[in-house]
């Protein structure tokens, strides 16, 4: 015979089975349930009381309902205990005067339990090590404990604090760390709680040899050089994650998985690396349109391992009306310190504001990317030939006809929360170049430049600040190529103006390159929500300003302001902005979309 505690469950199962067999559930609930409790406790009880499930049982008798009411009080006490209320007053009454029984649960949760003390103890290497790093980690776990004395106790906070402490323990040095014991001693009479947690770090782990699988086409040295996981170094989970990102971002591997083998010798635990190689060759097509360059199409071919030399080559062709270009670049595999050789050849044509400029560039140097910082030094040869569109004659130094040989160093630091779609943080690029012109009187020159962007999150949006400063110091007669000088204006610089419309004013309304540049932008970006949820769209309000001149005293800013919208579509970003240029006193629509496939 079934006991009385199991009979309601059997009745529920039979009722659900009958409803499934006939394709419909009970037409009306067997009783009404009303919960009276303060704040979010009412929702907690309404959603989670076991009693609610039995409302669909059509043939509950009085004895079964009485039994359920008794169980409901115990169930409610357990639910309230998860929120720190261990001495509630619960009054459950049943009203049978209506069409169907009405159960009323009135709850007075009482005083919430607060934490009176925390006993956080350690075992294993972290408990006895005098190493400064171990001491810092141990004290960091103590200071970062998420449920300090005086705070209210909830089961969710207690579980979260334990998880946080364990993550901090296993994040570095101790991958096999675990919780030996935990206890929450609650005194319901005084509404005080004492917490105890004992963390066992286990032994200290150091990285051993890499065990690599999946490398067939490429040089086996690529994995250890990009991973940069030195045998003998102390285990850090973040270092393994960053190594995975370096491998997948190298272009040689489509995926990478790195894990420490905890069964190995802790003094030299093997590091298992599994990679999936990228195709040896890849062809990428792109299409887009913008108000700067009109319709554009591009094709890019990548060969990851040229025969004999083993270098990577990237050949790019970009076709559009104003700035077509062809470029070839080749890079070596990195050495043990991640430095790589590179060589580049580029030819381009630029048509803007009454000038047609054709230029070529040759470059050879070395570069390194590590930890969000890029370093690049190189020798570069530039040559440019400019002529006025529609005829006429202008001095070569005015329009950027010339050539130059220069030595350059570029440093870039990225400190964003997300490198692809940042919403906070900043990035800085600093350039310093110097050389000599090869046309005219072979004049020396110096070219410093700095770019910066900053994102500051704010309530319901973010502020983006952009700035750029550049200068070329040289004799007035120096024939600098246009590619070493400055112009600005357009979709991505100063909106409200045409492509490279801001420069040095020349006869007949033409605009030439200048030796000094200053530009800035302030933009308010706000996500567009629908029904309270963030969409892929965002609105923007901006003010841009830029100036170009041949003397610092002639830097007079051209200002544009406007509004727009941005859509992060599945196939690429799309941006539309309407900007007013204060100097030309005109509205200009800026539209930019690009797709790569």
pTM, two decimals, is 0.77
Sign of CA dihedral 8, 13, 16, 22: negative
Q: How far apart are CA 106 and CA 516, in angstroms?
A: 76
**Same domain assignment for residues 80 and 148:** no
Domain endpoint, select from 240, 259, 277: 277
* Local structure of 540: helix, strand or coil: strand
| Of 239, 209, 238, nearest in space to 224 by CA | 209
Structure confidence by residue, pLDDT tens digits, 259-318: 999 998 999 999 999 999 999 999 999 988 888 888 989 999 999 999 988 999 999 999
Quick one: 358 and 449 in the same domain? yes
Residue 314 lies in a domain: no
Calpha distance 66→493 (Å, rounded): 74
Picking from 108, 139, 163, the residue at the C-terminal end of a domain is 108
Q: Does 296 reside within a domain?
A: no
Q: Are residues 361 and 489 in the same domain?
A: yes
How large is the average pLDDT for residues 572-591? 92
* 143-163: average pLDDT: 92
H or E element at residue 321? none
Residues 495 and 570 in one domain: yes
Q: What pLDDT is stored for residue 8 in this prediction?
A: 44
- Residue 264: what pLDDT? 83
Q: 69 in helix, strand or coil? A: helix
Structural domain boundaries enclosing 232: 207-277
Q: Are 54 and 94 in the same domain?
A: yes
DSSP state at residue 161: H
pLDDT of residue 25: 43
Where a domain ends, among 108, 141, 157? 108
Task: Kindly state the percentage of the chain with pLDDT values over 70.
Answer: 94
Using alpha carbons, select from 534, 530, 544, 444 the residue that is nearest to residue 484: 444
* Contact (Cβ atoms closer than 8 angstroms) between residue 382 and residue 483: yes
Are 234 and 184 in a shared domain?
Answer: no
Q: Are 211 and 272 part of one and the same domain?
A: yes
Residue 224 and residue 187 in one domain: no
pLDDT tens digits, one per residue of 127-148: 999 999 999 999 999 999 988 9
Q: What is the pLDDT of residue 7?
A: 45
Beta carbons of 288 and 296 less than 8 angstroms apart: yes
Distance between CA 482 and CA 410 in Å, rounded?
20
- What are the E-state strand segments in 269-421? 269-277, 281-290, 294-303, 312-320, 325-331, 340-352, 355-370, 373-388, 402-416
Poorest-confidence range of 26-35, 318-327, 465-474?
Answer: 26-35
CATH of the domain at 425: 2.40.160.50
pLDDT in tens, 395-423: 888 899 999 999 999 999 999 998 777 88
- Structural domain contains residue 250: yes
Q: Decide if 344 is inside a domain.
A: no
pLDDT above 80: residue 328: yes
- Residue 161 is assigned to a structural domain of this protein: yes
Co-location of 26 and 73 in the same domain: yes
pLDDT band at 594 (very low <50, low <70, confident <90, very high): low
pLDDT at 290: 87
Within a domain: 366 = yes
Q: Give the pairing of strands 32-36 and 102-108.
A: parallel
pLDDT digits (tens, 9 = 90+) for 108-132: 998 899 999 999 999 999 999 999 9
The CA distances from residue 552 to 76, 448, 509, 555, in Å, are 75, 14, 22, 6
**pLDDT for 23:** 41
Mean pLDDT taken over the chain: 90
Q: 158 and 102: one domain?
A: no
- Confidence band of 15 (pLDDT split at 50, 70, 90): very low
Shared domain check, 174 and 91 = no
β-bridge pairing 269-277 and 207-213: parallel
Give me the pLDDT at residue 596, please: 54
290 part of a folded domain = no
pLDDT at 534 > cutoff 60: yes
pLDDT tens-digit profile of 22-59?
444 444 777 888 888 998 898 889 888 888 877 777 77
Is residue 9 very low, low, confident or very high in pLDDT (cuts 50, 70, 90)? very low
Is 20 found in the same domain as 154? no
pLDDT tens digits along 378-388 = 999 999 999 98
Residue 299 included in any domain? no
User: 72: closest CA among 107, 26, 113?
Assistant: 107
Tell whether the model's pLDDT for residue 12 goes beyond 90: no
Any idea what the CATH number is for the domain that residue 40 is in? 3.10.20.310
When pLDDT is cut at 50, 70 and 90, the band that residue 3 belongs to is very low
Query: Picking from 171-180, 222-231, 392-401, 423-432, which range would have the lowest pLDDT averaged per residue?
Result: 392-401
Is residue 358 over pLDDT 60? yes
Tell me: the pLDDT tens digits for 50-109?
Answer: 888 777 777 777 777 778 888 888 899 889 988 989 989 999 888 877 778 888 999 999
Looking at the 3D structure of the chain, how many domains does it have?
4
Listed residue (213, 212, 262) closest to 235, CA to CA: 262
Q: What is the C-alpha to C-alpha distance for residues 137 and 239, in angstroms, rounded to an integer?
A: 16
Question: What pLDDT score does 125 carry?
Answer: 96
Query: Do the Cβ atoms of 156 and 78 come closer than 8 Å?
Result: no
Please give the share of the chain, as a percent, with pLDDT higher than 90.
Answer: 67
How many CB atoms are located within 10 Å of the residue 332 CB?
A: 15
- What is the C-alpha to C-alpha distance for residues 199 and 194, in angstroms, rounded to an integer? 17
pLDDT of residue 531: 84
């Amino acid at each position: 015979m079934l006991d009385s505690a199991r009979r309601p469950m059997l009745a529920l199962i039979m009722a659900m089975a009958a409803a499934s067999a006939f394709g419909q559930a009970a037409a009306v609930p067997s009783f009404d349930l009303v919960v009276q409790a303060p704040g979010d406790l009412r929702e907690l009880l309404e959603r989670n009381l076991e009693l609610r499930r039995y409302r669909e049982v059509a043939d509950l008798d009085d004895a079964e309902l009485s039994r359920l009411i008794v169980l409901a009080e115990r169930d409610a006490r357990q639910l309230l205990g998860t929120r720190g209320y261990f001495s509630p007053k619960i009054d459950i009454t049943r009203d049978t005067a209506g069409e169907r029984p009405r159960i009323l649960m009135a709850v007075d949760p009482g005083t919430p339990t607060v934490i009176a003390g925390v006993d956080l103890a350690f075992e294993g290497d972290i408990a006895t090590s005098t190493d400064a790093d171990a001491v810092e980690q141990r004290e960091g776990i103590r200071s970062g404990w998420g449920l300090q004395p005086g705070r209210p106790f909830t089961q969710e906070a207690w579980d979260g604090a334990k998880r946080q402490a364990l993550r901090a323990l296993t994040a570095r040095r101790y991958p096999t760390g675990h919780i030996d014991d935990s206890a929450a001693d609650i005194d319901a009479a005084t509404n005080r709680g004492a917490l105890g947690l004992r963390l066992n770090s286990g032994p200290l782990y150091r990285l051993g040899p890499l065990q690599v699988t999946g490398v067939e086409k490429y040089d086996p040295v690529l994995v250890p050089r990009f991973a940069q996981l030195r045998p003998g170094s102390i285990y850090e989970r973040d270092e393994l994650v960053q190594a995975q990102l370096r491998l997948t971002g190298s272009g040689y591997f489509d995926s990478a998985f790195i894990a420490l083998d905890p069964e190995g010798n802790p003094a030299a635990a093997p590091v298992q690396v599994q990679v999936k190689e990228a195709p040896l060759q890849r062809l990428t097509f792109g299409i887009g349109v913008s108000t700067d360059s009109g319709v554009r199409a591009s094709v890019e071919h990548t060969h990851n391992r040229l025969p004999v030399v083993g270098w990577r080559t990237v050949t790019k062709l970009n076709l559009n009306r104003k700035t077509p270009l062809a470029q070839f670049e080749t890079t070596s595999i990195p050495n043990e310190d991640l430095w790589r050789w590179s060589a580049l050849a580029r030819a381009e044509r630029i048509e803007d504001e009454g000038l047609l400029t054709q230029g070529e560039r040759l470059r050879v140097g070395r570069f390194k990317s590590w930890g969000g910082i890029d370093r690049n030094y190189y020798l570069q040869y530039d040559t440019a030939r400019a002529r006025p569109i529609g005829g006429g004659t202008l001095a070569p130094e005015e329009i950027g006809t010339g050539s130059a040989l220069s030595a350059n160093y570029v440093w870039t630091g990225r400190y964003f929360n997300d490198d692809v779609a940042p919403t906070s943080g900043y990035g800085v690029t600093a350039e310093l170049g110097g050389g000599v012109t090869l046309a005219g009187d072979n004049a020396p020159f110096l070219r410093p430049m700095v770019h910066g962007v900053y994102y500051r999150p704010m309530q319901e949006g973010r502020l983006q600040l952009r700035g750029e400063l550049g200068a070329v110091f040289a004799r007035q007669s120096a024939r600098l190529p246009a590619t070493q000088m400055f112009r600005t204006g357009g979709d991505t610089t100063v909106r409200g103006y045409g492509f490279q419309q801001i420069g040095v004013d020349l006869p007949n309304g033409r605009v030439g390159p200048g030796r000094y540049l200053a530009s800035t932008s302030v933009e308010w970006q706000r996500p567009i929500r629908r029904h309270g949820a963030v969409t892929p769209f965002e609105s923007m309000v901006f003010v841009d300003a830029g100036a170009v001149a041949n003397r610092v005293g002639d830097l007079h800013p051209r200002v544009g302001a406007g509004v727009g919208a941005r859509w992060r579509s599945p196939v690429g970003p799309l941006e539309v902005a309407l900007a007013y240029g204060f100097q030309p006193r005109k509205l200009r629509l800026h539209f930019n979309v690009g797709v790569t496939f």
